[in-house]
Amino acid sequence: MPPVWVIATRGLLLCAAPALAQATFVLKEDFGSPADFLDKFDFFTEPDPTHGFVEYVDKATAETTGLVTTNNDFVYMGVDSTTMAPKDGRRSVRVTSKGVYNHGLVIIDLTHMPGNACGSWPAFWMVGPDWPAGGEIDIIEGVSLLDYNAVALHTTTGCTIDDSGFTGDIQTTNCYYRAPEQASNVGCGIKIPSPQSFGDGFNNAGGGVYATEWTSTGFKTWFFNRDAVPADITAGNPDPLSWPVPDAAFAGDCNFERHFWDMQIVFDTTFCGDWAGNPDVWANSGNCASLAPTCQEYVANNPAAFEQSYWEVVSLKVYEDSNSTQTVAGGAFPSAPRSRVMRRLSA
């Protein structure tokens, strides 16, 4: 809130509180044409921090094996869907942006995200430099046969959110990843109930757009179906004030400046691990448990089940508020060491 200026005129004190300046978002980083997209990411090749049955490969291997491709319309990032019983896990890619961000508006246009498949665990997210310090927001995430997306935050202790200001369904309110009253590593989450927000439903509808605004007071996320994308986004002049109530909004008893900083953008698709491979989760993931006794056994022996486990990215842009003094760093900070950017243990 701007200060209230007290103006003295001929002995009279006139108090005026100027209106908040309307946010004007300007493009800070465009991940560019599909041909340039991958140059703005580092490929993560270490063991999966979430203990997934996955082998993350480097850029050269991904290009040679067709796990990443580009054309004039989109970037493709997929997984191995042909190898039977891979010894080191099913091959996939996990990429982390070279740019580091503080505040801004992240807008991604996808024609396809990984489809529903038993054992899959795709995510599009942002994470700080030394998790859980620096925070995490999962913009798109789900496992196996879930037919909805859930947006979530993960922090150190001392961050809770209100249950108002959004159209989604609140799941949990304590963002602390070890909150004693919640299941381990859940954080605070808001479900977007639309079946078109995730997996097969998203893909069958022709994809869509996710927009996430990050300010000093919290986060807001909107999901737009392909036929409902605001014209200002298409024109490159996004105006969140003109959009509907967000699907998810995170505000409340939380110092967001203390909990979130220097975040990088991540795409990944893993398998099984601490969430999708949890025995209780596997047993309650539709008919998955009837197909194989364990997640790893199914993923290892059913490569064709993952033919739809790929991302098609049409565009990814990061905007900053021209009125803000703390916005997108746009790569001004060095990338956090890969060994320190630890993926949180989802539940």
Supply the residues annotated as catalytic: 136, 141
Q: Which of 174, 171, 176, 166 is nearest to 189 (CA)?
A: 171
The tokens for 286 are 């539709």
Q: How far is CA 317 from the centre of its chain?
A: 13
Three-class secondary structure of residue 312 per DSSP: strand
What CA–CA distance (Å, rounded) separates 104 from 318? 7
What CA–CA distance (Å, rounded) separates 109 from 248? 18
φ, ψ of residue 232 to 5 degrees: the values are -70, -30
Check if the beta carbon of residue 315 is closer than 8 Å to that of residue 32: no
Which run of H or of E encompasses 300? helix 295-301
Planar angle of CA 330, 336, 340, nearest 5 degrees? 150
Which residue carries 């243990």 as its tokens?
345
Check if the beta carbon of residue 313 is closer than 8 Å to that of residue 106: no
Q: Which of 218, 214, 228, 206 is nearest to 265 (CA)?
A: 214
Residues pairing with 209 in the sheet: 109, 224
Planar angle of CA 7, 10, 12, nearest 5 degrees? 55
What CA–CA distance (Å, rounded) separates 303 from 182? 35
φ, ψ of residue 336 to 5 degrees: the values are -70, 145
What CA–CA distance (Å, rounded) separates 199 from 176? 27
Count of CB atoms within 10 A of residue 320's CB?
A: 23
What CA–CA distance (Å, rounded) separates 341 from 50? 12
